[in-house]
Amino acid sequence: MCMKRTNIVLDETLVEEARRLSGIKTTREVVDQALRVFVRVRQRKPLSGLKGKIQFADGYDYKALREGRG
Protein backbone atom coordinates (compact mmCIF):
# COMPACT_ATOMS: atom_id res chain seq x y z
CA MET A 1 0.00 0.00 0.00
CA CYS A 2 1.33 3.42 -0.91
CA MET A 3 0.94 6.06 1.80
CA LYS A 4 1.22 9.83 1.62
CA ARG A 5 2.15 11.95 4.60
CA THR A 6 0.60 15.42 4.74
CA ASN A 7 -0.36 18.16 7.14
CA ILE A 8 -3.90 19.48 6.84
CA VAL A 9 -6.15 21.73 8.89
CA LEU A 10 -9.40 19.97 9.81
CA ASP A 11 -12.62 21.14 11.42
CA GLU A 12 -12.21 19.61 14.90
CA THR A 13 -15.96 19.54 15.53
CA LEU A 14 -16.50 17.61 12.30
CA VAL A 15 -13.71 15.16 13.11
CA GLU A 16 -15.11 14.55 16.60
CA GLU A 17 -18.60 14.00 15.19
CA ALA A 18 -17.20 11.51 12.66
CA ARG A 19 -15.36 9.71 15.45
CA ARG A 20 -18.49 9.57 17.58
CA LEU A 21 -20.67 8.28 14.74
CA SER A 22 -18.15 5.74 13.47
CA GLY A 23 -16.48 4.60 16.66
CA ILE A 24 -13.11 5.24 15.00
CA LYS A 25 -10.44 6.26 17.50
CA THR A 26 -7.89 8.27 15.51
CA THR A 27 -8.06 11.24 13.17
CA ARG A 28 -5.95 9.37 10.62
CA GLU A 29 -8.46 6.53 10.53
CA VAL A 30 -11.39 8.97 10.27
CA VAL A 31 -9.81 10.74 7.29
CA ASP A 32 -8.88 7.44 5.66
CA GLN A 33 -12.42 6.10 6.03
CA ALA A 34 -13.92 9.37 4.78
CA LEU A 35 -11.76 9.21 1.64
CA ARG A 36 -12.73 5.58 1.04
CA VAL A 37 -16.45 6.40 1.33
CA PHE A 38 -16.05 9.47 -0.90
CA VAL A 39 -14.36 7.43 -3.65
CA ARG A 40 -16.89 4.57 -3.38
CA VAL A 41 -19.84 6.97 -3.65
CA ARG A 42 -18.35 8.86 -6.60
CA GLN A 43 -17.60 5.62 -8.47
CA ARG A 44 -21.24 4.56 -8.39
CA LYS A 45 -23.10 5.04 -11.60
CA PRO A 46 -26.23 7.14 -11.28
CA LEU A 47 -29.54 5.33 -11.70
CA SER A 48 -30.57 7.96 -14.23
CA GLY A 49 -28.02 6.43 -16.61
CA LEU A 50 -30.09 3.24 -16.68
CA LYS A 51 -33.21 4.93 -18.07
CA GLY A 52 -34.45 2.94 -21.03
CA LYS A 53 -31.86 0.20 -20.56
CA ILE A 54 -33.77 -2.07 -18.18
CA GLN A 55 -36.35 -4.40 -19.60
CA PHE A 56 -38.86 -5.84 -17.16
CA ALA A 57 -40.45 -9.26 -17.50
CA ASP A 58 -43.83 -9.43 -19.20
CA GLY A 59 -46.59 -8.96 -16.66
CA TYR A 60 -44.28 -7.32 -14.09
CA ASP A 61 -46.41 -4.97 -11.97
CA TYR A 62 -44.39 -2.95 -9.47
CA LYS A 63 -47.55 -1.31 -8.10
CA ALA A 64 -48.97 -4.71 -7.14
CA LEU A 65 -45.73 -5.50 -5.31
CA ARG A 66 -46.06 -2.31 -3.29
CA GLU A 67 -49.54 -3.21 -2.06
CA GLY A 68 -49.44 -4.62 1.42
CA ARG A 69 -46.44 -2.53 2.45
CA GLY A 70 -46.81 -0.04 5.18
Domain ranges for the chain, please list them.
10-46
Model confidence, pTM? 0.63
Indicate the SS3 state at residue 34: helix
What does the pLDDT look like over 9-62, one tens digit per residue? 999 999 999 999 999 999 999 999 999 999 999 998 888 888 888 888 888 888
Between 27-43 and 12-22, two packed helices, what is the crossing angle to 10 degrees?
80
- Transcribe 7-57 into DSSP letters: -----HHHHHHHHHHH---SHHHHHHHHHHHHHHHHHSPPGGGGTTT--PP
Indicate the SS3 state at residue 60: coil
Contact 30, 22 (CB under 8 A): yes
